[in-house]
């Protein structure tokens, strides 16, 4: 498998995510406010760490896993392996199934679960992340290829992890804003060029064409 790390060098990745604790801490950071884990129920930050994966809220007395609501919940696969797979998906144009096979994961049920989850994650990055959404990549393969070419592999990896963490709660405001932007661009395209061709009407690729038209 040909890898192109660009900003995410192998040594940098190994130093950052070589242990389960490092991976759990990284996930917790995304779910924190002011450096403290936010209780999913009462939204308070009066929590303390029980273990790598579990926090307890001082106010409502509930215990929560850092992995709840993420693609990693109820997983038997080490987080270090999950992070490695996501990194390799971001930094290669190889398919997810090929990456899993290279990492020794061949159980049909596990392969299906991980493949489905990561396809959704990278699709959401492409569709809802403003940096990539406005670039108008036509598919996930195009997204990863352009990340490699432009040197944004590290950014794509971190955004993929963040979308994996927000799996059950993609920000509705972010989705609405994205859809509104698409509508505006489609209207602009229609005004300058006539009706949007059916072949690109429902594809993010039309963003490039619309923006080019709007900018003259």
The predicted pLDDT at position 59 comes to 83
Tell me which DSSP letter residue 134 carries. Answer: T
Q: How many CA atoms, within 13 angstroms, populate the side-chain half-sphere of residue 208?
A: 9
The predicted pLDDT at position 37 comes to 74
The predicted pLDDT at position 153 comes to 86
The predicted pLDDT at position 23 comes to 92
61 vs 6: CA distance, rounded Å:
44
Q: Which residues of the chain have pLDDT under 50?
A: 1-7, 172, 175, 186, 189-194, 196-197, 199-203, 206, 210-216
The predicted pLDDT at position 205 comes to 52
177 vs 197: CA distance, rounded Å:
23
> CA angle 11-5-134, nearest 5°?
135
| pLDDT tens column, 75-118 | 889 999 999 999 999 988 888 999 999 999 999 999 999 999 99
140 vs 202: CA distance, rounded Å:
16
The DSSP result for 87-109, as a single string, is HHHHT----HHHHHHHTT---HH
Element (H, E) at 111: helix 108-128
Pairing of strands 47-49, 54-57: antiparallel
The predicted pLDDT at position 115 comes to 92
The predicted pLDDT at position 181 comes to 53
The predicted pLDDT at position 104 comes to 93
25 vs 32: CA distance, rounded Å:
10
Both structure tokens of 187:
């209207």
């Amino acid at each position: 498998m040909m890898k192109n790390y660009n900003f995410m060098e192998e040594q940098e990745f190994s130093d950052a995510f070589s242990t389960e604790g490092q991976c759990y801490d990284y996930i917790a950071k995304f779910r924190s406010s002011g450096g403290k884990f936010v209780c999913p129920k009462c939204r308070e930050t009066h929590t303390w760490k029980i273990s790598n994966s579990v926090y307890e809220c001082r106010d409502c007395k509930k215990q929560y896993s850092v992995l709840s609501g993420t693609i990693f919940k109820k997983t038997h696969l080490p987080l270090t392996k999950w992070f490695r797979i996501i990194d390799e998906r971001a930094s290669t144009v190889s398919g997810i199934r090929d990456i899993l096979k290279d990492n020794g994961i061949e159980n049909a049920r596990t392969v299906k679960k991980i493949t489905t989850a990561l396809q959704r994650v990278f699709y959401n990055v492409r569709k809802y992340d403003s940096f990539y959404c406005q670039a108008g990549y036509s598919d996930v393969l195009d997204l990863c290829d352009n990340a490699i070419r432009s040197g944004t592999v590290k950014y794509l990896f971190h955004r993929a992890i963040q979308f994996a963490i927000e799996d059950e709660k993609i920000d509705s405001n972010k989705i609405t804003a994205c859809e509104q932007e698409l509508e505006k661009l489609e209207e602009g395209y229609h005004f300058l060029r006539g009706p949007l061709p059916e072949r690109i009407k429902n594809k993010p690729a039309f963003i490039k064409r619309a923006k080019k038209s709007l900018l003259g």
